Structure 1
Amino acid sequence: MTRAAVSFSTGAASTGSAPAGSQTMHSQALAAALAQLDNVILGKSHQVRLAVACLLARGHLLIEDQPGVGKTTLAHGLARTMGLAFRRVQFTADLLPTDLLGVSVWDAAAAEFRYHAGPIFSEVLLADEINRATPKTQGALLEAMEERQVSEGGVTRPLPDPFFVIATQNPAAFVGTSPLPEAQLDRFLLTVTLGYPDARAERTLLETGGRVLTVRDLPPVLNAPLLTAIQREVDGVHAAAPLLDYLQLLARATREHAALAAGLSPRALLALLAAAKAWAYLAGRRMVLPEDVQAIFPALAAHRLPVRDPSIRIGDVMARVLADTPIP
């Protein structure tokens, strides 16, 4: 990482139009938010940081793991800490798109249809076990994620701002799952896997009966207006020309890799830049370094890069791509 820091030590970094004082306040608020989440999701600081970066980059998050490792706790804790309205929808095989998006019902007294909004009209929506729903319902959610609006009965209704979807997905081997197609997976900015806690974190859970700090105890550290202001500052994080060269080299490496059936698309490359800006902002910088790209790359690329041979681990491929791609 030292090489990256030296290569990008020159050039003016853009800090946007926000005063330095507000940036300091925002950084302090984010640091407090991360610390609070670390007290709830024990031993998973990197995954927590990825989730926050995803929110700052205006993306959506996919959490892939087995039940019982803290996926719902992370989603609810993030919403509480950020001061955002939270709704949870349990995805099942009989869930209909209208159950999610809402429906217009005839009001005989008023002689008109009245729209009853669905749970998707929330600032943070947890789509729990998304791959248990039918492709039609999955598609309804993902369309809203892309357009950030819902169209029903000829009327288009904007979704809240911010609007953040956290979807959890069971392993494909589980009974009753319908895997998300590649085009739908691409709508998620990042994918994270929580995995089992380490021995120290697990022992703390055992000693406290899992009551280290419950989600209901969490006070809001931020709020929606403050978060949107921070998101605008993230947009203004500077990416120098050599950094853009590095992104293109990474994309070319994935497109030409023999083990991959397809590489990163231009849309994925834009997503990588946005996520790297958020990661740099969390590090207290207003300029993207290659180390930011490297830190975010596995979570961004894992669900976008199909391997030709199922026996090949995508993690090994991504590690090799990062190791072999030169930094300009």
Structure 2
Amino acid sequence: MEKTVIDGVTLHLSHPDELNLVCVGQEEVIKQILAAWMIIDEKDLPLNPRLVGKPGVGKTTLAYAAAKRLGREVYIFQATVDTRPEDLLITPVISDEGRIKYMASPIVSAMIRGGVAIIDEANRMSEKSWASLAPLLDSRRYVESIVAGIKIKAHPDFRICVTMNEDASTFEVPEYIHSRLQPQIYVDFPEAEEEYEMLKANLPFADEEILNYVVSFLQLAHRAGEAYSVRDGVNIARYAMKRLLGPDKNQDKKEVLKDSLAQILGQTALIFWPDQQEKPRLRPV
């Protein structure tokens, strides 16, 4: 584990995240993120984009893909309702020798190494946690750790992006933080062809007929305002294929897929089953 010393305090840094995330489409969103991170003058500062959308539309994947376009290390912090200020900055732990070790969070590690920090599901955090990041998100670009008693300045190459879900299980973001998280970039559900490519990229071994039915289901659900996502589609198709190669090997493919859909998302999701409303969208050969 890499270490660094700041004002006489040794910090143990987090490892960057190397994820096998598949990013297909949504090129415009990536361009907007990269534009927000640009520096156009020696007195300019990068912005802190906020990706907003329904769960499962690929916000974290897009932020990760944008960071990789810059060739930077990526550090992802998963926010929860229990996130404390010290979790965001520096956490003291007891080492094997009985001494206190100071562990830098993914955010602080990115600050020190000039990487990109992604705070995932950031609006699950309380205002107290947000307050610890306020000076990082404005022109000061530093954080202060009360636990370690040090101030940490961000590397000039440091960038940050947050993702926020549009659902009821979140906190209201304080206004003074809201103004620091700009621009707001909305990530919507993909179009049918894009959704097919996303499913295919995640399930390259998938049966095309299954993928077409899943895309038709998702598109019907999107049009009705339901929050079913590509992630849900991947789970449905994956489970159906496992069943068709296992216990349901000799069963009707469409019936197994339909039953898998109900098991993954519940019986109410069946109102969007393609057979009931329209033929499955067949991808041209």
TM normalised by structure 2 equals 0.53
Q: 2:164 aligns with which of 152, 166, 169?
A: 169
* 1:100 aligns to 2:88 (yes or no): yes
Q: Look up the match of 2:74.
A: 86
1:44 Cα offset (Å): 2.0
Q: Look up the match of 1:130.
A: 122
Corresponding residue SS for 1:187 = coil
Q: Look up the match of 1:158.
A: 153
Equivalent runs, 1:287-298 vs 2, <5 Å: none
Q: Look up the match of 2:248.
A: none
Q: Look up the match of 2:191.
A: 198
Q: Look up the match of 2:176.
A: 183
CA contact (8 A) 1:131 1:180 kept: yes
One-letter amino acid matched to 2:77: V
Corresponding residue SS for 1:166 = strand
CA contact (8 A) 2:52 2:163 kept: yes
User: In structure 1, how many angstroms separate the alpha carbons of the residues matched to 2:144 and 2:200?
Assistant: 49
Q: Look up the match of 1:74.
A: 62
Q: Against the structure 1 CA distance between its residues 191 and 210, is the aligned structure 2 distance closer, same or farther, given a 3 Å change threshold? A: farther
Q: Against the structure 1 CA distance between its residues 155 and 45, is the aligned structure 2 distance closer, same or farther, given a 3 Å change threshold? A: same
CA contact (8 A) 1:102 1:118 kept: yes
Corresponding residue SS for 2:160 = strand
Identity of aligned residues (%): 28
Corresponding residue SS for 1:83 = coil
Greater RCO, CA 8 A, separation 6+: 1
User: In structure 2, how many angstroms separate the alpha carbons of the residues matched to 1:108 and 1:49?
Assistant: 46
User: In structure 1, how many angstroms separate the alpha carbons of the residues matched to 2:192 and 2:133?
Assistant: 37
One-letter amino acid matched to 1:168: T
Q: Against the structure 1 CA distance between its residues 101 and 209, is the aligned structure 2 distance closer, same or farther, given a 3 Å change threshold? A: closer
Q: Look up the match of 1:322.
A: none
* 1:63 aligns to 2:51 (yes or no): yes
CA contact (8 A) 1:130 1:138 kept: no
1:108 Cα offset (Å): 11
Corresponding residue SS for 2:137 = helix
1:107 Cα offset (Å): 8.0
1:208 Cα offset (Å): 4.0
Equivalent runs, 1:133-148 vs 2, <5 Å: 133-146=125-138, 147-148=140-141
User: In structure 2, how many angstroms separate the alpha carbons of the residues matched to 1:168 and 1:94?
Assistant: 17
Q: 1:44 aligns with which of 8, 18, 26?
A: 26
Equivalent runs, 1:256-295 vs 2, <5 Å: none
One-letter amino acid matched to 1:69: V
1:136 Cα offset (Å): 0.8
CA contact (8 A) 2:117 2:160 kept: yes
Structure number with greater Rg is 2
Aligned residues: 171
User: In structure 2, how many angstroms separate the alpha carbons of the residues matched to 1:128 and 1:142?
Assistant: 17
Q: Against the structure 1 CA distance between its residues 91 and 126, is the aligned structure 2 distance closer, same or farther, given a 3 Å change threshold? A: same
What is the root-mean-square deviation of aligned Cα atoms in Å? 2.8
Corresponding residue SS for 1:120 = helix
User: In structure 2, how many angstroms separate the alpha carbons of the residues matched to 1:203 and 1:109?
Assistant: 53
Corresponding residue SS for 1:201 = helix
Q: Against the structure 1 CA distance between its residues 41 and 114, is the aligned structure 2 distance closer, same or farther, given a 3 Å change threshold? A: closer
Equivalent runs, 1:243-262 vs 2, <5 Å: none
Deviations 1:146-180 (A, max 9, x none): 22212224421212322211111111xx2321011
Q: Would you tell me which structure has more helix in proportion to its own residues?
A: 1
1:184 Cα offset (Å): 0.9
TM normalised by structure 1 equals 0.47
Q: Would you tell me which structure has more strand in proportion to its own residues?
A: 2
User: In structure 1, how many angstroms separate the alpha carbons of the residues matched to 2:169 and 2:50?
Assistant: 19
